């Protein structure tokens, strides 16, 4: 599997130019993999046993010391072992990782949870966050699309009561929104049909943001003797075509991420709580990633937001017609990248496929 990795943020560590030997690469990969599994600093004897005593602990200690000097490993004061640094994780993810294949059970779990709600976008996105949190054992996050950038495909106006009409706005690629409007007097169905035709002639094919701010000018000439319904639409335009508030963040799995031993430290725990309480922290972080193609991975202090600097963030874009969103996972730097990257990529691809098929 080829990764299209995009690193973002002002504190990004550029791809290193250190020439690591094959032995250094192998030992760094072994340390990262072992630390991800156990959460315990990795000593030379552990690596020596894993390599079937091919190298003595003394030789491995020398290599580990070199890797620490180059910034790939850190040496906790309370332990004889080493742990990866942000630079170490970055080199591992960019150059050494070997991705796992999702099992048939995992693929079916994702497809069943998402596919059965193909007619309801909101439920799909809720279920998506839940299923990736369940499989990754971390925080599942979804940035919903900015529908105000969507293209209007069709407007239907239906009278459902003597004093109520239902406006159905269909956005390109099968997404729809319904708005209930109250009228003072009963309106002839023929008038509503004619209005639907006129509005579609003038608005179909335009972006919702553009319609919202130009609606009055586009229909001003329709005001006449029977202008109540037009006046109602003009007065309601800000609400009818306001899709900005539908751009939102969904996340689930807070217990998963808080259960990681990294966050038993009071300061790190407090940073996570701040992240959850100040939802805009995650929203701003996700929005900066929005619009970029391919998988994106930021690790540790590559993340601009301080509460997320003890975490790694993996995201991939999904597309709904002309609008896009993000699906991803937030977890400790010590996360199972080999498993979580395929989960995020597959889920994003599946959401796109589901709506493309509609």
Final residue of a domain: which of 230, 245, 260?
245
**CATH code of the domain covering residue 69:** 1.10.10.10
User: Considering its fold, how many domains does the chain have in total?
Assistant: 3
Cβ neighbours of 47 (radius 10 Å): 24
pLDDT in tens, 230-261: 888 888 887 777 666 555 788 999 999 989 98
Length of the chain: 358
Do 281 and 222 share a structural domain? Answer: no
pLDDT at 7 over 60: no
Structural domain containing residue 91: 22-96
Do 283 and 182 share a structural domain? Answer: no
Most confident of 23-32, 124-133, 146-155: 23-32
Final residue of a domain: which of 56, 75, 96?
96
200-209, 242-251, 280-289, 312-321 — which is least confidently predicted? 242-251
Average pLDDT of the chain is: 84
Do 133 and 159 share a structural domain? Answer: no
Determine the pLDDT at residue 181.
Answer: 85
Distance, in Å, from the CA atom of 75 to the CA atom of 81, rounded to the nearest integer, reads: 7
Whether 292 is in a domain gets the answer: yes
Q: Residue 207 in 3-state DSSP?
A: strand
pLDDT at 227 over 70: no
User: Left (φ > 0), alpha (ψ -120 to 50) or beta: where does 53 sit?
Assistant: left
Do 253 and 322 share a structural domain? Answer: yes
84-88, 143-147, 281-285 — which is least confidently predicted? 143-147
Whether 16 is in a domain gets the answer: no
Determine the pLDDT at residue 272.
Answer: 87
Distance, in Å, from the CA atom of 151 to the CA atom of 147, rounded to the nearest integer, reads: 8
């Amino acid at each position: 599997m080829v990764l299209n990795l995009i690193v973002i943020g002002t504190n990004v560590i550029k791809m290193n130019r250190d020439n690591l030997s094959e032995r250094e690469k192998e030992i760094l990969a072994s340390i990262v993999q072992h630390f991800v599994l156990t959460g315990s600093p990795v000593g030379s004897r552990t690596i020596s046993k894993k390599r079937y005593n091919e190298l003595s602990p003394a030789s491995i200690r020398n290599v580990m010391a070199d890797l620490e000097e180059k910034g790939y490993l850190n040496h906790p004061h309370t332990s004889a072992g080493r742990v990866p640094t942000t630079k170490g994780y970055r080199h591992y993810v960019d150059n050494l990782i070997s991705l796992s294949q999702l099992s048939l059970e995992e693929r079916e779990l994702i497809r069943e949870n998402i596919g059965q709600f193909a007619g309801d976008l909101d439920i799909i996105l809720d279920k998506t966050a839940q299923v990736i949190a369940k499989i990754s054992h971390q925080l599942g996050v979804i940035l919903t699309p900015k529908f105000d950038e969507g293209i209007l495909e069709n407007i239907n106006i239906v009278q459902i009561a003597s004093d109520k009409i239902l406006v159905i706005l269909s956005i390109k690629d099968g997404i729809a929104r319904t708005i209930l409007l109250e009228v003072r007097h009963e309106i002839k169905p023929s008038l509503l049909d004619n209005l639907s035709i006129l509005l579609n002639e003038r608005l179909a094919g335009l972006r919702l943001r553009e319609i919202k701010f130009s609606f009055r000018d586009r229909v001003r000439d329709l005001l006449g003797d029977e202008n109540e319904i037009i006046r109602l639409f003009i007065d309601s335009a800000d609400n009818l075509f306001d899709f900005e508030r539908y751009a939102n963040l969904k996340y689930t799995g807070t217990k998963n991420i808080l259960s990681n031993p990294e966050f038993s430290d009071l300061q790190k725990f407090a940073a996570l709580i701040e992240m959850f309480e100040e939802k805009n922290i995650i929203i701003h972080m996700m929005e900066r990633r929005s619009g970029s193609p391919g998988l994106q991975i930021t690790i540790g202090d590559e993340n601009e937001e301080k509460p997320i600097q003890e975490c790694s963030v993996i995201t991939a874009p999904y597309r709904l017609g002309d609008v896009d969103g993000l699906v991803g996972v937030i977890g400790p730097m010590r996360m199972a990248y080999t498993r979580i990257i395929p989960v995020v990529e597959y889920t994003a691809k599946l959401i796109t496929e589901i709506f493309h098929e509609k």
